[in-house]
Amino acid sequence: MKVSAARIRRARSEDAKAVRLLVRRAYAKWIPVLGREPLPMKADYDRAIREHAIDLLCADGQVAALIETILAPDHLFIENIAVAPECQGQGLGRRLLIHAEQQARKAGRTEVRLLTSAAFEANIRLYQLVGFHIDRTEPFMGGATVYMSKTLATDLAIRPADVADLPAMTRIVADAYGDYTDRIGKPPGPMLDDYPSHVRHHTAWVVESDGAVSGLIVLLPAEDHLLLDNIAVDPARQGRGVGRALMGFAEREAVRRGYTELRLYTHEKMTENLAMYPALGWRETGRGEQAGYQRVFFAKRV
């Protein structure tokens, strides 16, 4: 099932049956891995709906995914996240993780926590890609539970780029892409881009943290999509949520402008990106030469 348009709403008591069915379907694949039913398959969802926050991502009248959270005094805890098998691979899990972060911020929390089985290696990789880190691992029922957390950036502000930002933008792009020159055999495209033109045409934004520009993004409008032409983060600020903030901004900006699709490209030798983008909900749409570079093209529904 391809999800083209979806909305998130809070679960009500009458949703308990649908929640239970979705969770059982989503977690059934892990039974052979664990040798037992995962704990979310055994939960009392009538009670969970009353005591926790369960938010449903609905499309075409059906529940495609859900996230269950518990607000603690100093953090937001993700109790459960589940995506219907036929809807997996479309970035719905990541969308719900972003939703959880938004809920945490609204409640004044600066940390999100979760736990998962050490056997769920794909889930652990996804959580790490979106900024969670492993705090500890503990034995549990013949296996191991992995405890993870993510500190939310609270000092980031995204605004349109200004002429005064050009020196910082040029430096950040050089620092972020310079190491790829030897791998590609020439400077990557972003190092040759015309940033004064982007500033004049209002197609570039910068993110500030601690009073300094720490990243930038270039978005180019097309007839049927918004192109994420470039994203760069100051290496000194990597790992602090700057890139995720910029990606989230691109998605919100696409929706604000009425687009339903974001697109981007990367060089085929930037293998880190080739692994990262699919994990963040992007799908590869093609490969080929463009502007003298061998590129891989991706798209994402928003």
| Buried/exposed 1-32: b ≥16 CB within 10 Å, e otherwise | eebeebeeeebeeebbebbbebbeebbeebee
Q: Rounded to the nearest 10 degrees, what angle do helices 121-129 and 271-279 cross at?
A: 110
* Alpha-carbon gap, residue 272 to 277, rounded angstroms: 9
What pLDDT does residue 244 have? Answer: 82
SS3 for 59? strand
Question: Which H helix or E strand runs over 174?
Answer: helix 166-177
What pLDDT does residue 5 have? Answer: 66
**What pTM did the predictor assign?**
0.59
What pLDDT does residue 214 have? Answer: 93
DSSP letter at 44 equals -
CA-to-CA separations, 257 to 94, 176, 286, in angstroms, rounded: 21, 29, 25
What pLDDT does residue 56 have? Answer: 96
Residue 113, CB half-sphere, CA atoms under 13 Å: how many? Answer: 13
SS3 for 34? helix
Residue-level length of the chain: 302
Give burial (CB, 10 Å; 0-12/13-18/19+) of 206. Answer: buried
Question: pLDDT tens per residue, the chain (302 residues)?
Answer: 666 567 899 999 999 999 999 999 999 999 999 999 999 999 999 999 999 999 999 988 889 999 999 999 889 999 999 999 999 888 888 889 988 988 998 888 889 999 999 999 989 988 888 888 899 999 999 999 999 999 886 667 889 999 999 999 999 999 999 999 999 999 999 999 999 999 999 999 999 887 789 999 999 999 999 999 999 999 988 877 788 889 888 988 998 888 989 999 999 999 988 988 888 889 999 999 999 999 999 999 88
Q: Cα–Cα–Cα angle for 76, 23, 110, nearest 5°?
A: 10
What pLDDT does residue 89 have? Answer: 84
Q: Cα–Cα–Cα angle for 122, 37, 93, nearest 5°?
A: 35
What pLDDT does residue 2 have? Answer: 66
What pLDDT does residue 212 have? Answer: 87
Whether 227 contacts 259, CB under 8 Å: no
Domains and CATH numbers, the chain: 7-151 (3.40.630.30), 156-301 (3.40.630.30)
